[in-house]
Amino acid sequence: MATVTQSHLLNSEQALDLIDAVIQQSQADGVFVRLSAGESALTRFSENQISQNVAKTALKLTITSHFGQKCASAATTDLDADAIAQTLQRSEELARFAPDDPEWTPLLPPQEYEDRIPGFDPETANLAPITRGQRLEQICHLSQKAGVEGSGKLSTDVDLLAIGNSLGLRACDRTTEANFHFTARIDNGSAWSSDTDLAIDNLPLQSTAETIIERAQNARNPRPIQPGVYPVIFNNAAMATFISWLSWGNFDARAADEGRSFMSHPDGEGNRLGEAIFSPLVTLQRQGDHPLLQSRRFFTDGLPNTPLTVAAKGIPQNLAYSRYWAQKTGNQPTGSLSPLVMSGSDASLADLIAQTERGILVNRAWYVRDVNPRTCEVTGMTRDGTFWIEDGKIAYPIKNLRFNQTIPDLLRDVEAVSQVKRFGNVVAPGAKVKGFNFSSITDSI
């Protein structure tokens, strides 16, 4: 039986040739074309046995036609020549009848992108289902031998994004990503982890499973503690959850200028760039070329995804400017603040624990949701292994706690950071925080 499959994703030359053909047919004043294509596959396992194997191929061609300040888009998932011609015609017809866009921006001229190749691993792109199954079979056997109930998934994604417009803008990148999610449960003990890499062979499946199984065994019979403000050690995964909120609009320049963000100035005038808002240990960067990420060189609108310092030693340096808001305010457009990287240190999470006289170890922040977008306050709960720290050591498991916390205050109170790890599209360290607000106990495992 074959252990590899052949990816049928378009290559860069084919994608750009297709975009050129669409642009040549356009009758509009200007046209922007975006082609996104992807192949995703995953194998799930539950109760120590494989339960699902699925694969999906997705493709979408989007055409945006411009007549003056009128514009409209139409899309198709069919690359047949007639289907593309009909989609182009539909976008032009809609654009002619559309009202002027009050936030219209002109087409981007050709851009300069970084001279690098995004992360693309052929083995990950061509991994066969039987290979994924064989790797997870080993994890299932390991869980069964340890007497825990193991569940999770192993997945791969291959993505292509190509863009072009009638001014000569052209760009195309292909990327791969592999993810391993693993949960171990035994009695009333639970533990979880997630690993992400651009290459399937870089995922530490065996060592991750062993660590999570041991954590689940140690998490049994948790004790209750009173809610309140405690020193906390956050695992990398928990910190990545909080950091990801900062790239979802909380550093948006328009929101800050309009008084809708924690970055808005209290007196209602301007923003808080240049203020010492966070701990000096907090440095945040948009860094698509980070070795753990190696993501695309451009955003979906064509703006370059170049490195950008968001905060340096606790002081915010840049906000995210859309093309419209940059045009309105006389600034340079930045694109989004993703992927986001928080700098770490050479210390291990164990080192941070050893520095803590009393506190709580949080391995996962779960079901985190907005409470107050203006202050960036969130609520959520701990899950999958929460422990009490005493005299620099993990003393015993504790029941999970619900929290209400503003993320700016969390970052203000960072006292130490550990080595970094990647979780999804975020690279984050573990962190020691001198005070974190727990509001109640929860019975969730």
Chain segment 37-50, per-residue pLDDT in tens: 999 999 999 999 99
pLDDT at 1 over 60: no
Percentage of the chain exceeding pLDDT 90: 94
Give the tens place of pLDDT for each residue, 215-265. 999 999 999 999 999 999 999 999 999 999 988 889 999 999 999 999 998
Strand partners, 420: 429
Q: What number of other Cβ atoms are within 10 A of residue 381's Cβ?
A: 21
CB 144 within 8 A of CB 15: no
If we measure between CA atoms, which residue out of 135, 207, 194, 214 comes closest to residue 387? 214
Alpha carbons within 13 angstroms on the beta-carbon side of residue 379 total: 8
DSSP string, 154-169: EEEEEEEEEEEETTS-
CB 232 within 8 A of CB 433: yes
Q: What is the pLDDT of residue 270?
A: 82
Q: What is the mean pLDDT of residues 114-119?
A: 97
If we measure between CA atoms, which residue out of 196, 186, 258 comes closest to residue 222? 186
DSSP secondary structure code for residue 106 in this structure: P
Overall size of the chain counted in residues: 445
Tell me the pLDDT band of 6, cut-offs 50, 70 and 90: low
Give the tens place of pLDDT for each residue, 294-310. 999 999 999 999 999 99
Q: What is the mean pLDDT of residues 340-354?
A: 98
pLDDT at 74 over 80: yes
Q: What is the pLDDT of residue 269?
A: 76
Strand partners, 396: 388
Give the tens place of pLDDT for each residue, 350-405. 999 999 999 999 999 999 999 999 999 999 999 999 999 999 999 999 999 999 99
Tell me the pLDDT band of 4, cut-offs 50, 70 and 90: low
CA angle 177, 108, 288 (to 5 degrees): 25
Q: What is the pLDDT of residue 8?
A: 74
Percentage of the chain exceeding pLDDT 70: 98
CB 440 within 8 A of CB 399: no
pLDDT at 424 over 50: yes
> Average pLDDT, whole number, for the chain?
96
Q: What is the pLDDT of residue 5?
A: 62
CB 33 within 8 A of CB 172: no
Which domains does the chain possess?
12-211 (3.30.2290.10), 222-445 (no CATH)
CA angle 338, 340, 346 (to 5 degrees): 160
Q: What is the pLDDT of residue 266?
A: 86
CA distance 432 to 418: 9
| Whole-angstrom Cα Rg for the chain | 24
